[in-house]
């Protein structure tokens, strides 16, 4: 199909490209800070499917997130400007380029946006984590080695298909050597890593869709990576991560229960990320016509300040001198066995219920939390005849 543009005949594909490109140029914001980083809506004009999945993602919400804002305000209240700047490095990385510590620009509020990730040309390892080599501008860096768009220039990289891309923000060891965010280093020693599974393999689900608006696509129906990045708030991911098996054993009036929690599907510890996350397992053993026994086990991390005080607020994890206190997170591929011993009359029936919850305690007001029940198992334990 052909269309006429400025006296010359161009293909319909080229025509659509030119039209979209013109729209992009005319929509460029005058006076926008960090003029070299473009707003994500601009990319969304052509990369429609990717834009939709990113827009609903935690990355698009990294600054706007209410929990973050609460913790960030609390950080600012300490008067430690360097600490507040550190938060923004990961939650509003555009500030590294536009210096917008006051959060004045719309672009800053895009959180982890398209152009910041696609200006990364390589990643350098540092003492505290990873640091990107950012080259904002007309060249967009990405996974394709053979893309030939005329909308902007492109450069294929290795980094976009490697976990180190994500480690930029998902790995942070404080200057004293305590890992605060350790998702990358946990992954590094997992079977998943050994088998060639990266963060992207599990968090950027491939879908049959178009990398750009279908009218532009070089290969309609090719696989693209959705940018939704589901994690611990997704039931589906939690089901993939952990499984639980129950093994009761009776001997006279003694009842032993072995519960095995297996990290089968997360290529890192469960929970991972901010230390405020935890997985809680509750058990209830109800003896029919008798007593009920309840227990709670917590899988998670606790950290303490340089003065030895237990940390309960997100802002404090990044302060100087923080140390690890306890770590009961379930490591990748680990099978954690938990044993319970009960006294139950041999002739009684007992009903065992095990539930798993995913929790995140927020920093703003202690005690306020998200709680998701992602697994329940019930087993009737028959009497000995």
Considering only residues 105 to 144 of the shown chain, the ones binding ligand HEC according to CB under 6 A are 112-115, 117-118, 140, 142-144
Total binding residues toward ligand HEC, as defined by CB under 6 A: 100
Stretch that binds ligand HEC, among 4-12, 18-26, 297-305, 320-328 (CB under 6 A): 18-26
| Interface stretch with ligand HEC, choices 99-107, 221-229, 290-298, 334-342 (CB under 6 A) | 221-229
The yes or no reply on residue 264 touching ligand HEC (CB under 6 A) is: no
Q: Which two tokens stand for residue 361?
A: 């305690």
Q: Does 218 bind ligand HEC (CB under 6 A)?
A: yes
Q: Do residues 94 and 108 lie in contact, with contact meaning Cβ atoms separated by under 8 Å?
A: yes
Contacts of 156 (CB under 8 A, 6+ apart): 141, 142, 143, 144, 145, 146, 147
Burial bucket for residue 304 (CB in 10 Å: 0-12, 13-18, 19+): middle
Contact between 361 and ligand HEC per CB under 6 A: no
Does residue 36 touch ligand HEC according to CB under 6 A? Answer: no
Q: Tell me which stretch binds ligand HEC (CB under 6 A): 149-157, 245-253, 295-303, 347-355.
A: 149-157
Give the shortest CB-277-to-ligand HEC separation in angstroms. 5
Q: What residue has token string 């005080």? A: 309
CA–CA separation, 126 and 82 (whole Å)? 18
Token pair of 15 as six digits = 């025509």
Among 94, 98, 184, 257, binds ligand HEC (CB under 6 A): 184
Range 299-338, binding ligand HEC (CB under 6 A): 314-315, 318
Q: Does the footprint of ligand HEC cover residue 342 (CB under 6 A)?
A: no
Q: How far apart are the C-alpha atoms of 7 and 20, rounded to whole Å? A: 19
Candidates 80-88, 95-103, 286-294, 300-308; binding stretch for ligand HEC (CB under 6 A):
80-88
Residues with Cβ within 8 Å of residue 172, at least 6 apart in sequence: 90, 128, 129, 179, 180, 181, 318
Interface residue with ligand HEC among 24, 33, 324, 338 (CB under 6 A) is 24
């Amino acid at each position: 199909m052909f269309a006429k543009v400025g006296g010359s005949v161009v293909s319909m594909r080229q025509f659509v490209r030119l039209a979209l490109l013109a729209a992009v140029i005319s929509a460029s914001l005058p006076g926008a800070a960090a003029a070299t980083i473009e707003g994500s809506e601009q990319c969304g004009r052509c990369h429609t499917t990717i834009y939709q999945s990113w827009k609903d993602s935690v990355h698009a919400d990294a600054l706007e997130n209410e929990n973050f804002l609460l913790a960030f305000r609390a950080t600012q209240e300490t008067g430690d400007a360097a600490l507040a700047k550190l938060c923004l490095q990961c939650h509003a990385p555009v500030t590294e380029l536009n210096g917008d510590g006051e959060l004045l620009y719309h672009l800053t509020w895009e959180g982890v946006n398209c152009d910041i990730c696609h200006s990364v040309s390589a990643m350098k390892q540092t003492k505290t984590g990873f640091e990107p080599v950012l080259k904002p501008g007309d060249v967009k860096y990405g996974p394709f080695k053979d893309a030939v768009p005329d909308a902007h220039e492109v450069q294929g990289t290795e980094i976009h298909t490697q976990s180190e891309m994500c480690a930029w923000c998902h790995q942070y060891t404080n200057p004293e050597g305590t890992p605060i965010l350790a998702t990358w280093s946990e992954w590094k020693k997992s079977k998943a890593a050994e088998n060639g599974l990266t963060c992207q393999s599990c968090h950027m689900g491939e879908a049959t869709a178009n990398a750009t608006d279908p009218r532009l696509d070089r290969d309609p129906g090719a696989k693209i990576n959705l940018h939704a990045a589901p994690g611990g708030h997704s039931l589906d991911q939690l089901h993939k991560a952990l499984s639980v098996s129950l093994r009761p054993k009776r001997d006279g009036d003694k009842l032993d229960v072995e519960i095995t929690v297996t990290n089968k599907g997360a290529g890192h510890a469960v929970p991972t990320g901010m230390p405020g996350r935890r997985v809680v397992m509750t058990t209830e053993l109800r003896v029919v016509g008798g007593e009920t026994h309840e227990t709670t086990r917590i899988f998670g991390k606790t950290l303490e300040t340089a003065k030895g005080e237990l940390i309960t607020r997100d802002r404090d994890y990044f302060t100087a001198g923080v140390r690890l206190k306890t770590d009961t997170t379930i490591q990748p591929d680990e099978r954690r066995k938990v044993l319970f011993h009960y006294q139950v009359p041999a002739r009684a029936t007992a009903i065992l219920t095990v539930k798993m919850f995913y929790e995140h305690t927020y920093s703003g007001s202690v005690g306020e939390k998200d709680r998701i029940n992602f697994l329940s198992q019930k087993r009737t334990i028959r009497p000995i005849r």
